[in-house]
Structure 1
Amino acid sequence: MENGIYLSGMSKAELKDLLREILTDILKDHRGRDTVMITDILDVKEAAAFLRSKVTTLYEKTSAKIIPHFKKGNKLYFRRHQLEAWIENGKVKTVDDLQSEAVSYRLRKK
């Protein structure tokens, strides 16, 4: 390891200090900020990248109220977990899913 440090020989306190130092360095390097808030709020460009879509397509979907979003002033924001749920709502059922539903339906209707 770097500087001859081996984790197996470290105390719990030393390991915590090392991890704290590493995480602090990572967070400082992230986008050049001193602190970073980890959030699931995305702006339009980030949401478009997440959805692998064009920004204009995203604007069309928000205008038609097809996709969950928030608006503050003239800015649009999205929650990552809501976008994931929106994607999952479009799941196409497999043949097995449909057959299982058909069997359940027939059993309930007897």
Structure 2
Amino acid sequence: MEQVIITSINKQELVDIIEQTVKKVFGSAKNEVAIPNEKPIGVHRAANILLLSGASIYRKCNNLEIPHFKRGNRLYFYESELEAYLKAGRKLSNDQIDQLSDLYLKK
């Protein structure tokens, strides 16, 4: 293993180097969820959006099936994340599957 000796570097330069390396490794811009000015909603509103009972919401959160966060004994959600959760479960029709397979085979 090659040894690297860093000399005459100030604290801020070292912090910048570490931040750049972490961003490069983890791709921070891709992993961050940008939710501009969106306010969190509670369980009852989430249940109305997902058309589920409150008990189902708690069960799905316990099983880590839906995106949520928790402060104390309360669960919070973002509407945009719940909508993305619904869209992720979308099933294609047979016609859509046929169209996609035709496009794939033409390549």
User: In the aligned structure 2, how far is the partner of 1:85 from the partner of 1:74?
Assistant: 25
TM (normalized to structure 1)?
0.59
> Residues 84 and 105 (structure 1 numbering): CA distance in 2 closer, same or farther, change over 3 Å?
same
**Deviation, structure 1 residue 40:** 4.2
The 4+ residue runs of structure 1 with deviation greater than 3 A are: none
One-letter amino acid of the counterpart of residue 85, structure 1: A
Which residue number in structure 1 is paired with residue 73 of structure 2?
Answer: 74
Which secondary structure does the structure 2 equivalent of 1:42 belong to? coil
Which secondary structure does the structure 2 equivalent of 1:53 belong to? coil
Q: Would you tell me which structure has more strand in proportion to its own residues?
A: 1
Which residue number in structure 2 is paired with residue 8 of structure 1?
Answer: none
Q: How many residues align?
A: 71
Structure 1 regions of 5+ residues with no counterpart? 1-37
Q: Deviations over 1:52-100 (max 9, x none)?
A: 2111100110011110101111110000011111111111101221011
One-letter amino acid of the counterpart of residue 68, structure 1: P
Aligned residues: CA RMSD: 1.6
Which residue number in structure 2 is paired with residue 96 of structure 1?
Answer: 95
Structure 2 regions of 5+ residues with no counterpart? 1-36
Of all paired residues, the percent bearing the same amino acid is: 31
**Bigger relative contact order, structure 1 or 2 (CA pairs below 8 A, ≥6 apart):** 2
Q: In 2, are the aligned partners of 1:62 and 1:69 still within 8 Å (CA)?
A: yes
One-letter amino acid of the counterpart of residue 79, structure 2: R
Larger radius of gyration: 1
